[in-house]
Chains A and B, each alone.
Chain A
Amino acid sequence: AQKITQTQPGMFVQEKEAVTLDCTYDTSDQSYGLFWYKQPSSGEMIFLIYQGSYDEQNATEGRYSLNFQKARKSANLVISASQLGDSAMYFCAMREATGNQFYFGTGTSLTVIP
């Protein structure tokens, strides 16, 4: 089974609107971390936000927030007030505390329309 599933290959959003990028995960660990990364066309992966499995509040970092629903095993990224510079690939990732590697989803390509 896939550890991380991103079901939206591509998304479009109007500038200044909010957008939600979906991510579901699969783990039997109680302790794990969830991460979102942004990859612009330049290729470099940029860390955006982290959510720990024991965190009761949703993580926020500026315009980024992570909608964490533990029971549903989802960790959706919400970008508020989209900007043209937000156009990029977005990857959801997970790391389990049992010492294994980061698992990445297949990514969602976000295009912000002026």
Chain B
Amino acid sequence: KAGVTQTPRYLIKTRGQQVTLSCSPISGHRSVSWYQQTPGQGLQFLFEYFSETQRNKGNFPGRFSGRQFSNSRSEMNVSTLELGDSALYLCASSLGPPGASSYEQYFGPGTRLTVT
């Protein structure tokens, strides 16, 4: 079974631009979560989608948005990029829905975004 895939793996953008990152979960997984990882802030939760609905959202500005498609694939978008958005963006999929505390998340390799 294929793992979680994320595209692109690396991205360089300039301030003010927008970016869209893509995530394909493990086949059969309907829950997709996004995280931002930086050396200073660690791993921070962005949002979680299940069955095309955003179920949880972290404490990020509205410039960060996401969506999930009927095939469970997910995209996240960051508009008006700032230097501080430079980070590793990780996507994780899970078999269980929110509320199912026993289901582990499986992570993709991440997209490393650099904003100049």
Report which A residues bind B (CB closer than 8 A).
29, 31-33, 35, 37, 42-47, 50, 52-53, 91, 95-104, 106-107
Residues of the A chain whose Cβ atoms lie less than 8 Å from the Cβ of B107 = 37, 44-47
Q: Does B8 contact A (CB under 8 A)?
A: no
The answer to whether A43 and B58 touch across the interface, beta carbons within 8 angstroms, is no
The stretch among B14-22, B68-76, B77-85, B98-106 that forms the contact with chain A is B98-106
Report which B residues bind A (CB closer than 8 A).
33, 35, 42-43, 45, 48, 55-56, 58, 88, 90, 92, 98-110, 112
The answer to whether B99 and A98 touch across the interface, beta carbons within 8 angstroms, is yes
The answer to whether A99 and B98 touch across the interface, beta carbons within 8 angstroms, is yes
Q: Report which of A31, A44, A46 forms a contact with B110, defined as CB distance below 8 A.
A: A44
The answer to whether A95 and B42 touch across the interface, beta carbons within 8 angstroms, is no
Instruction: Give the interface SS of chain B, mostly helix, strand, loop or mixed.
Output: strand
Q: List 13 A-B contacts (CB under 8 A).
A: A29-B101, A32-B101, A33-B102, A35-B105, A43-B109, A45-B107, A47-B105, A97-B100, A98-B99, A101-B98, A104-B42, A106-B42, A107-B42
Residues of the A chain whose Cβ atoms lie less than 8 Å from the Cβ of B90 = 45
Question: Which residue of chain A has the shortest Cβ distance to B41 in the bound complex?
Answer: A106
The answer to whether A31 and B101 touch across the interface, beta carbons within 8 angstroms, is yes
Q: Report which of A47, A99, A101, A106 forms a contact with B104, defined as CB distance below 8 A.
A: A47
Q: Given the complex of chains A and B, what is the CA–CA distance between A98 and B56 in angstroms?
A: 11
The answer to whether A102 and B45 touch across the interface, beta carbons within 8 angstroms, is yes
Residues of the B chain whose Cβ atoms lie less than 8 Å from the Cβ of A29 = 101
Residues of the B chain whose Cβ atoms lie less than 8 Å from the Cβ of A31 = 101
Q: Given the complex of chains A and B, what is the CA–CA distance between A44 and B110 in angstroms?
A: 7
Residues of the B chain whose Cβ atoms lie less than 8 Å from the Cβ of A44 = 107-110
The answer to whether B109 and A47 touch across the interface, beta carbons within 8 angstroms, is no
Q: Given the complex of chains A and B, what is the CA–CA distance between A99 and B48 in angstroms?
A: 11
The answer to whether B104 and A91 touch across the interface, beta carbons within 8 angstroms, is no
Please give the distance in Å from B44's CB to the nearest CB on chain A: 8
Residues of the B chain whose Cβ atoms lie less than 8 Å from the Cβ of A100 = 56, 98
Give 15 new A-B contacts, CB below 8 A, not counting A43-B109, A99-B99, A101-B56.
A32-B101, A33-B102, A33-B104, A42-B109, A45-B92, A52-B101, A96-B101, A97-B100, A99-B56, A100-B56, A100-B98, A101-B58, A102-B105, A103-B45, A104-B43
